[in-house]
Structure formats: C-alpha cells, structure tokens
Structure 1
Amino acid sequence: MSILEALPGYAGRGSPERESEVLLSLVASGLSSLSGWWGQVDRRRPYDDRLQLGLDRLAVACARQGLEAPVGVADLVWSWCAERPMREWPLVLDPDAQADGELLLIDGAPSEFCREWARATRDLVADVHESALVNHVKDVARALGRPELYAHWRMLLTERAVLSAAEMIRQRNRFLDVPSWARWLDESYEPVPCEGTVNGRIAVCPRCHQWMTPAGGQGWLCPSWRCAVHRFGSVPDLREAEGAFRLRADLVGYIALPGRSELLLAKPLAARGARVVVSPGYDALDAIATWPDGFAIGVDVKDWRNPFLLARKIKRFPEWSGDHPYAYDKGYIAVPEDRTRGRQDYLRILRKHSTALQGQPHVQAITIEDLIKQCPDLGTPGEVTCGP
C-alpha cells in the first residue's frame, strides 16, 4: 500500500468513489457559479459548462447501472438537482459524506449541501479571500505594522451589514491616519438599490444581522442558509433606505456570515474574563483568548454543515509559543452546536478525515458551547479586541 492510499478517505483515480465525487463536484460547482441565479423564474439563462461535463459523466454512470439518464442540462437541473435526493443518484460516496437525503437545489437556489461540494480552479470562496480588496487590506496592514486594521475591517463587516449615510461618514473617518481605510469601506459597501427596499425601507435579519431581500408577499428573505427555516417567521429590523449603504453580497457570504459564528465564541469568552484577540496573525486563526494568569487558547471556528467536507478544509494550526504575542496552550476547532445536533458522529467524522487534526493531536475538535463551558470563568468581564 502506498503512502497516499494509507491516508484517510483516499480513493484512487478511476475508482467509483473518486468518479462519484468528481461528478457531484462538477454539478455542484456549475450550479453555485451561476451569476444572478433566478431559479425557476428564468430557465433559459446561460449555464456553466461544468453542468454539461457533469451531465456527461452522469449519463455514463446511469448507463452502467441501467438507469434512465437526464435528457439535457434543463432536466439535470430541474428534475434531478431540484427533486431527486442523492440516494437516487448512481453515486458511490463514503457513508460519512451523509449525502443520502440531500438535494442540490432548494427553492430554485443552490442548497447549502451544494455550496459545500462546489469546487473550481477559482471558486467563489477563493474569489473573495484572494480578491484584490482582501489582499490589499492585509498588505497595507502589514506594511504599516498594524494587524488590527484588518481585524477591525472584518469585524465592521460582520456586525454592520447596513449603514446609514451618517454612519458611513463616521466609519470612513474612523482611521484618519490610514487613507486606505475609507477606500476599503467604499469598496465593501454599496448604495441600497431600489429592488432591495419595500416602502422606502430595508430589512435586517434579527438572527444573523445581515440585510434581507423582499420576497414578494411573503415578507423578507435572509441570505443565510442558517436562517432559512425562520426566514418568514421573524420580524425583521426595518431601517430607512434613503441614503443607506449595504454590504456587498459576496462579502456577506464569505466574510460577514462566518464572522457571526466567530463572535458567538469571542464574546462569551470575554464575558468569562479573557482578553480575546480576533483574527490574530492576519486571520491565521479566528481568535486567541488569554486569561490574566497567562492561560491561552487558540481557536478556529468552522461553521460547516458537512463534517466530511470540512475535514478536508482544515489547515494546520500556527505553532506560536514562547514569547510570541499569540502563544497559546491549547488549540481548538470549534463548531456551532446546532451543526452537531442530531448528528452525534459529526466530531468523529471530522477527526477521522482530517489529516491536519491527526497531525496535531494538541488541537481538539469541539462545539462552541462545550468549549465555552470548559474555559475559566473569573466572574469579571474581559474584552474583545482587534489588536495584539
């Protein structure tokens, strides 16, 4: 057996497992990359060529199992992706992938399962995290020797998805000694468009605090899949739209929403007396929490629905120790508890398929809630900060 074959979750090229993953990733990527997706309103929009590649592979898989294949991309999208759960596809997936009852499209839009399976040479996440804006913020912060600037920018985007005209002016003038700061905000926010308002108002989700879009006569639609089951049940926070700015949609999905889970950890740890630095080392981790006696933990928060896919995304923790300002005693991959609710094997799957966790036994996978309970509680508040 080769070294590669000994790694967890390895399946060789040409194996049914590898071919099934390639097929699923092609279709998921094609669906997720559709620009301006309008669901069932407009079925004639140009489609990503990865859908055709996925269709070709699916036709072969169906032929091998004596199944009727979809007839064209439209049939693939609207009959298979929207109506047929994964258990009915001719795929061979690791049981830990937990794909059986999943759909790739829900309500005409790529599901969370679909988005997590999506891959590309430059996928949606990479397009954001490697964009000129994100890199520029980091580069300027490094050049100035002020890592807190990047953390302040991320925290603002996470906590304030909508800014009034007056608030935008105040935020732009927040760091007058850093001319780039105002430009970062100009590129991060956009004027609220007319189609995003109802009766001159814009709505903010009471759960994730991101801007919502009008959903016809059914209220407002939240951009977060985490809020999907409550999207018409919660009363939104309505604000005056005239002159207001909202966070750009790509930054909502890949900066602000993940940042919400990070703050759900950082603020309770600070309430227990820790000094919590968010985005330390230009986002090498999500948080470093240090108590007055010197005990410190390093945490990376991962808000993923599928632990099988998440395991492949986990990177090795930075080995900060000694006199390093972010030295920590213990490391944690922290997952929101509701991701594991009803799925007792979530953390087991994560450990089993993550080479990073196996290579760093001092890093533990745990739920956010359990981690908070394990940490010291001094009974006096600490602080959440962006600086070293």
Structure 2
Amino acid sequence: MNAEDQGGDIATLLRDSARDFAAGERDHGAMRARAWHPALPGFDAAAFAQMQALGWRGMLVAEAQGGAGLGLREAAAVAQELGRSLLGEPFVATAVLPVTALLHAAVQPQAGALLGDVASGAATLALAWQEQAASIAVDAIRTEARREGNGFVISGRKGWVAGGAAATAFLVSARIDEGVGVLHVPRDAPGVHVSNTWQTDGTPSIAVALDHVAVKADALMAAPAHGRAVLAQALDAATVAASAELLGVAHEAFDMTLAYMRTRVQFGQPIGSFQALQHKAVDLLVQRELAAAVLDEALAAFTDDACTGPERSRVASRCKARCSDAALRITRECIQLHGAIGYTHECDIGLYLKRALVLSAWLGNAAQHRRRHVELAAAGE
C-alpha cells in the first residue's frame, strides 16, 4: 500500500469517526439557545473539549510533539463531517490555521514547543492576521512590532479573528523592520483588548486590539524574512479545510431537503414526484459533486511534494470559490424547496444557510478568490 492509499484509508476512518461523533453531539436546539448570547462562548464548549480528547485539535502536530502527525486530507475529512452537523466552529480556525502557521515556522524552537502545548490541550491558538475586510493579502497590515530591549512592543488592531472566542493566545502578524513577522501573544497579556461582534449564524467574530503589548524575543514564531510565506501557506491550507466544511454544510442541507421532498405531500402526492422540483434537485446535486471534485483536486495538490507554493495558492482559491458558490446556492434553493416553513426560525435548514454565509466569507469570498486565481495564473505565465 502506497502512502497516498494509506492516507486515504486514514481519512476514511476519521470521516466515519467524525460522523459518529457528530451524530451524538448534534443539538440544533442548543445551537439556537447559545447563538448571539452574550454570556455564552458562541460554540459548543463540551464538544470542543471532546475534540481534544479525540486528538483532532492536535492532528496536524507531529508525533514527536505529542500530536497525530496527520495531514490536510485528514483534517478536511473531519471538517466536512463537522460541517454537516454545524459543529465545525471553531475546529478549522484553531486546529488548522494557526497550527499550519507554526508548522511552517518550526525552524524557530519556540514554535515547536508551542505546537506541543496545542497537542496536549494546554494552549488553544487563533491566528490574528486580517485588518481589512476587502483584502485577503497577508501583508495588508498596519500592526507594528517595534524592537525594544530583549523583545517587542506590538500596537495595532486585528478583526474577524475566527476561533478567537476559544483561544487562550493569539498568533499576531505584524510589521517588523522591513518584513512581516508572526508573534505569540497570550490573551491575558497587558494591553490586549478582546471584543466581540456577532455573525449571521450567531457565532462570535473577535476583534483584538493591541495597545503597546510587550512580549519577549522568544514570542517571535516566524521571522520577518519568512513571515509572509508562513502566513500564505497557513491561509491556503485553512482555505481548503474551510472549503471542506462548506461542502459538508451543503451536503447535509441537500440531504435534509431530499428527505423533506419525499414526505411533504401536496395535491395528494409527495412534492419530490414533481418533475420541475426533480430537475432543480438534480441541478443542485451537480453543483455539490463539482465542488467535491474541486476539493479532491485541492487536497491532492497539498499532498503532492512537487506542487509549488503558487500552484497550491491557485488551486486553494479555485476550491474556495467553487465551494462557496455551491454551498450558497444549495442552501438558498433548499430553503425555497422547503416552502414557507424553510423561512421560519424553527426550521433547521435556515441554520445551514447562515453557516454557509459565514464560511463563504471567511478567508475570502468567491469573488476575492476568483480575482486572486486570475492574478496568480497571470503571474505564473
């Protein structure tokens, strides 16, 4: 058995395990209760702790550092099943995005030590990188880290920090000298101010203000000469994982709608027997399968050592654009196929549309990624 086949088998086992886990943890009533609730964290803390016990939150960390030593294909398999149950937040944001950044920055010994803390559950990280909603460029930042004594003083503001509600610390991108570095900043460090706004699906979006935050020299996880590349690789990997979660959301919304069409009776017969609705359902199935094919292509690129960084960036953008469009179209039309009940707060299909709206915007929407794909292709030529 070659390495690719073995990886596929592990991904299948993890997908089955995640499906069983999600079946036991799925509680849409509890999800509605904690949505937009100022006294609650905005995610299922018990399920998140169970993910740690299962080893998922450290699955990308090397075995030598206490993790499972798995790859993006395995993480995407888990993300897809968590998307089907709406338990994905904040898995990708804490177990893929910041961890991948540390993996690429592991030439720094302190990055390796922090990965060990992630694997053990002693630390939960979130990557604070974005400052402008209209830009997904890793260097579109004004946050600065000024060298002072034996360390740095950081000032700036980060928005839309996914996973920030669960984070015990942040990986913050900042301008250092002539480059971009990544620094480890504890949540409770003096000068760190965390605020919360609510997203469409009722989960929190975190803003982090850094007011002359002093950190030691060993807080530097990625040096200025390598910070842009580290961030780009981490964001590309997380973009693919988020696409897998989007596919899971679309998959479950479609399956729920097919079940509804088989049982909803109108004019004396199930509405699923109406030819016009069958045609619409087939069209949605095609969109879902196209998205699944592009996701498979992206995962193959990320496991191919011969694939260059720009090639992976291009396929990641193609994947996110396709999966975002597919998930939004499927969830919106599934609400229409449910009829008037689909627009009610009590109907679960609405939860899937709201999650698709949030995920499709996170890490760049479809339009941003199509534009990025064109720019990368032109640069390659």
TM range (shorter): under 0.3
TM (norm. structure 2) is 0.23
Higher share in helix: 2
TM (norm. structure 1) is 0.23
